[in-house]
Amino acid sequence: MKNTGPKTISEKIMSVKSGIDARAGDIVDAEVDYVMVNDITGPLAFREFENLECSIMKEKVVLIPDHYVPNKDVASAEQAKEMRDFAKKWDIKNYYEVGRGGVCHQVMVDEGFAAPGRLIVGADSHTCTYGALNAFSTGVGSSEAAAVFATGRLWFRVPESIRVLLKGRLNRYVTGKDLIIRLITDIGVEGANYKTLEFGGTGVSALTVSERMSVSNMAIEAGGKAGIFPCDAATVAFMKTVRTGNWSAVMADAEANYCRELEYDLSKLESMVALPHLPSNGKPVSEVDVEIEQAFLGSCTNGRIEDLRIAVEVLKGRKVHPSVRMIVVPASTKVYQQALEEGLIAELVKAGAFVSGPTCAACLGGHMGVLAKGERCVSTTNRNFIGRMGHKGSEVYLAGPAVVAASAVAGRIVRPQDLRE
């Protein structure tokens, strides 16, 4: 493959995986490293694959039940059984049973599937999460997933990239979630349609891998095809903590071509909240005065150990408001175990929170936190569309873990610094 000029991270990964000199706008046929499906999208992919009557690229397939875990009714139990049966029939080793996995995107990171330079697709829109680890990852439909089951390849249109330059450091209790809500508010839910949000600048080093995951996770909420960070010392250090194969860091060239450039000074960011019913409806928390009935901490956006630590720091010595239900759901079995070992679960329970094992839970309005008509929830999840968490007359407000914990105590949406000592 001949390299004819400077490239973005997306162009470099697509060039390597397709074997051609790929540029934004090109259609390429690329080798996929892994394809992931969950209990909702998996059954459709299984049926499409079976219709092809061919062998399977089983080493590339990852099956993770998470949306209705544990199964909430007969229909969800049947879906889970179909996944279990498919894994057994095709001898798929990368199957993560209930109690041994968690939310699919966290498991993909915990188990080392996500790594720099890889091309990963998943039948779930938030597959873009793995861009935090310098991978090109994106959501696909179940039919496309079935095609990867069979061939290990998929076609893509190489996306243009928006350069997002970061500088400075975040203030206390302000996190990557606040950055991505600010960004989506600025450019809108269609501001990055079929484009890569490529992050760079000196401020990247001030973001933890966990915070980068929150940012990449919500790239899709701006219409993004991917949300990618460079590979730096934090990335390399993180990769040493997970079991993985070979990987290669990918950095953008200095003269790469971007369709747009944005810049954010992290030190000037405030705690943000996205009001109903769009992730782009963001406002500083200091400008919002809303009572809540539920506070949800969890999901693939903010259910990591760092998020639980922040919540416990805010809740320490305090109690959840009598009128509020606080629901805490670690994103994976690994996170849950670590939270137990650190005593975080005990502190959360002491404060009056309900804590469960890993599952998508209330995020998609599936179970364990469904909202009634007129109820309001402040949540660390990624979407607040009408009816997202339950009744179409309910409301979801998106925020970071510190704001969710503080709001659970106050009974209204507030920042930790607004709480009385």
Q: How confident is the model over 9-37, as pLDDT tens digits?
A: 999 999 999 999 999 999 999 999 999 99
pLDDT in tens, 28-69: 999 999 999 999 999 999 999 999 999 999 999 999 999 999
β-partners of residue 36 are 62, 122
- Same domain membership, residue 359 and residue 239: no
- Same domain membership, residue 306 and residue 401: yes
Which whole number is the average pLDDT over 373-382? Answer: 97
- Look up residue 272 and give its two tokens: 């943000």
Q: Is the dihedral of CA 279, 282, 285, 291 positive or negative?
A: negative
Sequence-separated (6 or more) residues with CB below 8 Å from residue 86: 42, 46, 63, 92
How far from 76 is each of 72, 80, 82, 85, 411, CA to CA, in Å? Answer: 6, 6, 10, 14, 34
Number of domains in the chain: 2
- Same domain membership, residue 97 and residue 25: yes
DSSP string, 32-92: -SEEEEETTTHHHHHHHHHHH-----GGGEEEE--TTSS--SHHHHHHHHHHHHHHHHTT-
- Same domain membership, residue 200 and residue 108: yes
| In a domain? residue 370 | yes
How far from 20 is each of 4, 31, 33, 246, 247, CA to CA, in Å? Answer: 11, 12, 17, 21, 19
Q: What is the CATH number of the domain that holds 99?
A: 3.30.499.10
Sequence-separated (6 or more) residues with CB below 8 Å from residue 81: none
pLDDT, residue 243, reads: 80
Match 């809740």 to its residue by tokens: 315
Is pLDDT above 90 for 245?
Answer: no
- Same domain membership, residue 347 and residue 299: yes
In contact, 32 and 119? CB cutoff 8 Å: yes
| In a domain? residue 336 | yes
- Same domain membership, residue 369 and residue 291: yes
Q: Which of 354, 355, 362 is nearest to 391 (CA)?
A: 362
- Same domain membership, residue 202 and residue 160: yes
| In a domain? residue 75 | yes
- Same domain membership, residue 196 and residue 300: no
| In a domain? residue 4 | no
- Same domain membership, residue 186 and residue 62: yes
- Same domain membership, residue 397 and residue 315: yes
| Domain boundary pick from 230, 264, 298 | 264
- Same domain membership, residue 229 and residue 162: yes
Domain hosting 399: range is 272-418
Which whole number is the average pLDDT over 369-397? Answer: 95
Which whole number is the average pLDDT over 186-211? Answer: 97
| In a domain? residue 161 | yes
Is pLDDT above 70 for 421?
Answer: no
| Domain boundary pick from 204, 230, 264 | 264
| In a domain? residue 3 | no
| In a domain? residue 2 | no
| In a domain? residue 253 | no
- Same domain membership, residue 306 and residue 235: no
Dihedral Cα 39, 40, 43, 48, nearest 10 deg: -130
- Look up residue 109 and give its two tokens: 């990171």
pLDDT, residue 366, reads: 85
| pLDDT tier for residue 2 given thresholds of 50, 70 and 90 | low
Looking at residue 240, the DSSP 8-state letter turns out to be T
pLDDT, residue 3, reads: 57
Q: Where are the beta strands (DSSP E) in 287-390?
A: 294-298, 325-329, 354-355, 376-379
Phi-psi region of 136 (alpha: psi -120 to 50; beta: other; left: phi over 0): beta
